[in-house]
Amino acid sequence: MIQSLKGMKDLLDADGKLYERVIECASRVARLYGYSFILTPHLEAVELFKRSVGESTDIVGKEMYEFYDKSNKQVALRPEGTAGVVRAYTGAKLDKMGSTRRWFYHGSMFRYERPQLGRLREFHQFGVECFGVKSVYEDATVILMLRQILNELGIKASLHINSLGCKVCMSSYRELFLSFIKGKKGFCKDCEHRALHNPIRMLDCKEQACKELLVGAPKMSECLCKECKKDYETLQSLLKGEEFICDDTLVRGLDYYSKTAFEFLSDELGAKAAVAGGGRYDKLVGMLGSKEGYGLGFAIGVERICHILKQRQSETKTPLVYLCALDECFLPELFELAGRIRQFKSCILSYECKKLKKAMSAAALEGACLFVCKGEDEAKDELFYKDFNSGVSAKLSTDELLALIKELG
Ligand code: HAM
């Protein structure tokens, strides 16, 4: 039998439903903030990601699916969505016109990583990108939009923010950081490489030895220029209704950020992991376009959100009603009842009449929360029900049963 590739998953039944739910919720909220849908290709020129995400990042340096197509052009499956959307914006010359655009997208991203919980080789992101807006108010707005999406989905995650400064303050921070690490020995191989190409990225290293060597490193927030400092303070004041952590070590795994960077972290994924992240990338718009531009956004890891939601679902059974006639003569009555229940709750009717015990195990197998049946033991307007969550069972009239089902969470 041909199996799916390592780190690539089919989304069947409940997984497919959860995926739809996340995308539907995120798209609806994004529209409330003035964002509209954009679709860009999965396959792009390798150069796009090298220039935007950065050659020294793990995403481009180690994890990209890249190959030569039939006309010998070097192409890559997109490891993330931002670069393609910026290419679409600058390609349409919208940057030249100074146009504002607010777009959202969702779809597959590809990273050749070691598959584990919450880490796939083909995964899905829901992302938003906003162009042409310089104000830090928009930075606060996209963070609040992301918080709203997570809240509506019932995801608890802690917000970490940082400012990565601009060209001016970042280069003086880089000098300071380089003099701090000078002479220090014992960094991992990756950090030795980062020290040469992008030293700030060392702050993101997960190796304990590297973390210890960086204790006492100069803080980015203390090196910001006047404008970046003011924007960072404004951002914090705009988020004052939210709980957040100012995290000087938050550098993100992609090179294109400047000023605002943020992540939402959850500990419902085994180890603490990001369910979403983003930031401002003005220099990238300038780099791929012809003049200085403004861009910012975020992306949500859809599978990570689905994993959290699924865990919760298995803790409390879904409010699904399962109906079964114990004798064929009751089927028309239950058929009609199923129609009434479906006006407000999901419901399955078995067309096959079964004995009580068999019918109940079929209902449990379907993940039902409430089992309802009718047999010879029930009076004319009477039905038998069992609530699988509470274990309660009784006989009720149709109206009583409908009232009870309405109450189900
Ligand atoms: P990112 O932090 O690389 O940012 O990815 C965003 C989210 O995608 C992560 O927080 C995580 O939830 C999910 N994710 C990343 N890698 C994997 C994986 N291998 N398997 C499953 N989920 C994963 C970006 O991609 C930026 N483009 C975000 C952005 C948009 N910044 C500005 N605009």
| Cα separation, 23 vs 35, whole angstroms | 14
- In terms of phi and psi (left: phi > 0; alpha: psi -120 to 50; beta: otherwise), the region of 98 is left
Mode of pairing for the β-strands spanning 36-37 and 101-110: parallel
| Cα separation, 282 vs 166, whole angstroms | 9
**Two tokens at 226?**
């006047």
Q: Which atom of ligand 1 is nearest to the CA of 264?
A: 10
- Report CA-CA distances (Å) from 315 to 91, 277, 311, 321, 393: 48, 28, 7, 17, 21
| Cα separation, 285 vs 89, whole angstroms | 9
Among 108, 125, 256, 302, name the best residue to mutate to test ligand 1's pocket (greatest count of ligand atoms within 8 A of Cβ): 125
State in Å: Cα 139 to ligand 1 middle. Answer: 18
State in Å: Cα 110 to ligand 1 middle. Answer: 10
Among 35, 85, 254, name the best residue to mutate to test ligand 1's pocket (greatest count of ligand atoms within 8 A of Cβ): 254
Instruction: Kindly give, in sequence order, each residue whose CB lies less than 8 Å from that of residue 343, ignoring residues fewer than 6 positions away.
Output: none
Residue nearest ligand 1's atom 31 by CA = 278
pLDDT for position 316: 58
Sign of the Cα pseudo-torsion (336, 338, 342, 344, in order): positive
pLDDT for position 367: 84
Among 104, 123, 294, name the best residue to mutate to test ligand 1's pocket (greatest count of ligand atoms within 8 A of Cβ): 123
Ligand 1 pocket by C-beta < 6 Å: which residues? 80-82, 111, 113, 118-120, 123, 125, 127, 129, 253-254, 274-279, 297-299, 301, 303-304
- As averages over each run of 10 residues, the pLDDT of the chain (409 residues) reads 96 92 97 97 98 92 97 98 97 91 98 94 98 97 97 96 94 93 93 90 90 93 95 96 94 93 94 94 90 93 95 68 95 95 91 93 90 94 92 94 86
Q: Do 295 and 129 touch, CB atoms closer than 8 A?
A: yes
Q: Do 161 and 245 touch, CB atoms closer than 8 A?
A: yes
3-class secondary-structure state, position 204: helix
| Cα separation, 125 vs 81, whole angstroms | 8
**Two tokens at 41?**
């290709």
pLDDT for position 314: 63
3-class secondary-structure state, position 42: coil
| Cα separation, 320 vs 337, whole angstroms | 14
DSSP lists the bridge partners of residue 50 as none
Q: Do 317 and 369 touch, CB atoms closer than 8 A?
A: yes
pLDDT for position 151: 96
